[in-house]
A and B are shown apart, each in its own frame.
Chain A
């Protein structure tokens, strides 16, 4: 015992003296810098802060990580606090899921693109919906003219889902449905399809985004806040009961970032949003160790490689801590921050679109180095239109090349231990805690959202970023550096004929469905909404009777009212 103590003391002395030595050499380096600048007149022109505003130095050393406890801060992958990765073998065991967001035009178009992507090496489905579907209007609503099938697939009824997933083995594949707002009508239709195909619900693997909160931070929500949370949690609860392999809520930071938030705001608001859903599920009597494993996240990978990697690592550590310390979660599976990443569309430019291939590669790399579970790489034509087959194949190949050729997937958390990345990970985590203190002081994330604070902050950051691009402080090649014009490239556009097909399809369904059954199930659905019961079972019943997305949303609007118009 005695001998051991003295060894420790000796080690401490050695460390201290090494720190002193490092500091002395650092001072020497600083003097060298001054001499160098005086001699060469090469001044330090690098930005003084990270894009999130964290003050940066020009170099990091052990001096910036004094007192850094390896096991407390990092540990090993698959073990608390999961900074290095959520699974013990990470990509050595199984690579991330290659999941390209897709869906446009008619159901047949979406189906054909899915099959193409699979043939080309995609490993999970990722379905985008068009705006009318997200906002709860059917393809044949005259106000939707020109928007059907534009930014995603149009899903008016189960019939559309049947065409989109035709011949795809949904019992074996993992399907992500990016519903943007509520998961509900679309999810009910997907479950109805599985029931029809006799695939057990418990076997279905996938994710519904089903996070309405981000639309209160940016954009405009179709429904008021509280009913939106209720409906999202209804779906989550249904998954807890019947679909253990389905992530009922996928909390989205992606859109927050796309709307102009910085990395810290994206991280903090997303994690805080997740607590709203968890709190509501717990309020309904569920156990945290049942709830937490079925929550997942959807994040953005933007330009600043190291800040992005640090963000992902900080979020993992923060999530593990808050689940353990605040929510008293016991099971390791409850503590892990699992996330899908999409590369930043807003970082891509319409000018010189081929440059976007390089940008998306850096974004993709940050997600991989950050330990993502699933990944979409944007196509180079993202700023101009929908991806073509050619551009989406290239996006797939970007991931394939990084996975199979670059070696980045061979060693787990390869940036772990970098003085800079560890320091920045710590800083971002501190910033997230600071946000949580403010949010707690405001009475929680629901109150914070109702007060519109995230919204104001994001708008402010977005405007500041644009001004920095305008004055050249934030360099964007092809925009304010090496400026050039927009070239004409092949753009995938949805034509009105495709829209017409979807309009005809939903009109036909209204004619041929058993109307009495549709009316009855819709009434039953409405009663569940009015009583604030879990509406999922009645939504599935209605979906099976070919009740449409628009009809179900009409009920939501009648019962809960319209969403607020926010700026």
Chain B
């Protein structure tokens, strides 16, 4: 055991959720019920760990474990094609963020070392964390043998006046929103996850095994009913015709366009319109940030960047042991030969 940090499993939902609600970097995806639903629908087993510094809980980490083809996989969050969860990893207490830089660094190093002991107990061959944007320090992972892959996402600051946010949109974006407004589309809240999945499956038919093909609509349905104040699905109609759909995730001061933003009628400018409506709604609800998830797909960035967001980095942290590396290498060679 490390002298400063100790690790213990947490089985108490209210202790966990209270910590998550108070943590400055935690997300809805860290909440107990969210983890349990992800466990139920991904087939991975969830473990919830707490890290204590002198008896004070200063961090928690949920991990998902599964043995597949003789290999042990540990994820936090589980693969996006199964869970659509973008970030997870460590959630820290306000105390952690108030530590000075030196204690923060040594604290995170110790937490990762403690966690690695647990992972050794699980005989993990592959470990992957996706850190929450804003937590920039990947060094303690690297010093513990992990590799860090850089990723980006887009965030809009909602603390500015709405007019200032609007003025910063590309001219063409504003024009498209104004054109859509003339059609008086209606945005209606819905829990019809089956329709969203059907639309998305059709839209991504040529993209292989996406989340919408691998997962069932019941997963989203259960999330919508468990978190009615946080996860909201909207359908956008022109008259009676469904022209767009979006699933938002709202938690603390963040509103995230999470799942979808599917548009069925490209020529109606529904995408820009819907995003603007979400931004206005989020600001009205007192949110401070709006995240348009993901900035690593070039084909989507041209649309997302129209709203003049800030670019925020985050990391995939990965460790593969020698057995995993060797097996992957052989499999790759064999598939190339075939």
Q: Do chains A and B interact in one complex? A: no
Q: Which residues of B contact A (CB under 8 A)?
A: none
